[in-house]
C-alpha cells in the first residue's frame, strides 16, 4: 500500500520479464523450473475499503482526534506492524486539517494520521482504503466487537457477501429471561444458557 506522496515502483531486473531467468536455468542445464509470482496484496488490496462511522471528535490546536466504530478488531495491521492505509471522507469537502484516527478499543487503537475535512462531524463516514488484503481475514471478535459485513460493489450495484457478526448481548437474551424466571421455593434452578454463535 502506498502513501499519497509515493509512486508505485517499476519492475526491474529478472522480475520485469521471466525470460532471462528461464534462459539462465536452461544454460546451467538444470532441471526445468517453474517460475511463480505472488503479487498478492498489490492486486487485491486496492479492491477493498472499510467504511467507518465517526463516533467522536476532539478538536485541538495541533489537529483533530477522531474515534470511529472500527479499529484493531477488524483491521489489526496498523497496530501490529505500523501498516499504512489511506483514509478519506466518503463525502469530500471543506478545508483539510491534520487528523489522528483511532478505533473504539480501549487500548491505543491507532489507525492513522491523515488530512481530513475540518468540518468533519459525528456520524460522517470515512473510507479506510486498500483493505482488500490481510485485513478482514485477520479480523476477530476482540473485545466482543462484532465483525463487519462484507459488501461487493460494482458500479451502482451491490451484493451482500457476508453478514456482519452480532454483539454478545444480542444472544441468549430470550433464553436468559426464561432461565431466570421465578421458580417455586426449593426448586432447582438451571444455570442461564447462552449461544455465542456468529452469522
| Structure confidence by residue, pLDDT tens digits, 76-133 | 888 888 888 899 999 988 899 999 999 998 777 899 999 999 999 999 999 999 888 8
Do 148 and 137 contact (CB within 8 A), yes or no? no
Q: CA angle 98-103-104, nearest 5°?
A: 130
Domain ranges of the chain: 45-162
**What tens digit of pLDDT does each residue of 13-49 get?**
555 666 676 677 667 666 766 767 676 777 788 888 9
The pLDDT > 90 percentage for the chain reads 28
Tell me which residue of 32, 6, 5, 8 sits closest to 21, measured CA to CA: 32
pLDDT tens readout for residues 46-68 = 888 999 999 999 999 889 999 99
Instruction: Compute the distance between CA of residue 13 and CA of residue 8 in angstroms, rounded to an integer.
Output: 16
Phi, psi of 85 (to 5 degrees): -130, 125
Q: Is 106 a catalytic residue?
A: yes
CB 141 within 8 A of CB 117: no
Which residue among 106, 154, 174, 187 is the active-site one?
Answer: 106
Please state the CATH superfamily assignment of the domain spanning residues 45-162 in this structure.
Answer: Lyase, Ornithine Decarboxylase; Chain A, domain 1 (2.40.37.10)
Helix extents (H) in the chain? 19-27, 41-44, 77-81, 173-179
Amino acid at each position: 500500500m502506498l502513501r499519497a506522496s509515493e509512486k508505485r515502483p517499476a519492475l526491474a531486473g529478472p522480475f520485469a520479464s521471466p525470460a532471462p531467468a528461464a534462459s539462465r536455468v536452461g544454460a546451467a542445464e538444470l532441471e526445468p523450473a517453474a517460475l511463480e509470482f505472488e503479487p498478492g496484496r498489490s492486486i487485491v488490496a486496492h479492491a477493498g475499503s472499510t467504511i467507518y462511522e465517526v463516533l467522536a471528535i476532539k478538536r485541538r490546536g495541533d489537529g483533530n482526534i477522531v474515534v470511529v466504530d472500527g479499529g484493531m478488531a477488524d483491521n489489526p495491521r496498523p497496530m501490529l506492524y505500523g501498516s499504512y492505509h489511506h483514509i478519506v471522507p466518503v463525502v469530500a469537502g471543506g478545508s483539510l486539517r491534520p487528523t489522528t484516527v483511532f478505533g473504539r478499543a480501549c487500548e491505543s487503537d491507532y489507525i492513522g494520521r491523515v488530512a481530513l475535512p475540518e468540518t468533519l462531524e459525528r456520524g460522517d463516514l470515512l473510507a479506510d482504503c486498500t483493505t482488500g488484503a490481510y485485513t478482514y481475514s485477520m479480523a476477530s471478535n476482540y473485545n466482543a466487537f462484532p465483525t463487519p459485513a462484507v459488501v461487493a460493489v460494482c458500479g451502482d450495484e451491490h451484493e451482500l457477501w457476508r453478514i456482519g457478526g452480532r454483539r454478545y448481548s444480542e444472544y441468549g437474551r430470550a433464553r436468559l429471561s426464561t432461565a431466570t424466571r421465578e421458580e417455586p421455593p426449593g426448586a432447582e434452578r438451571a444455570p442461564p444458557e447462552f449461544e455465542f454463535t456468529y452469522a
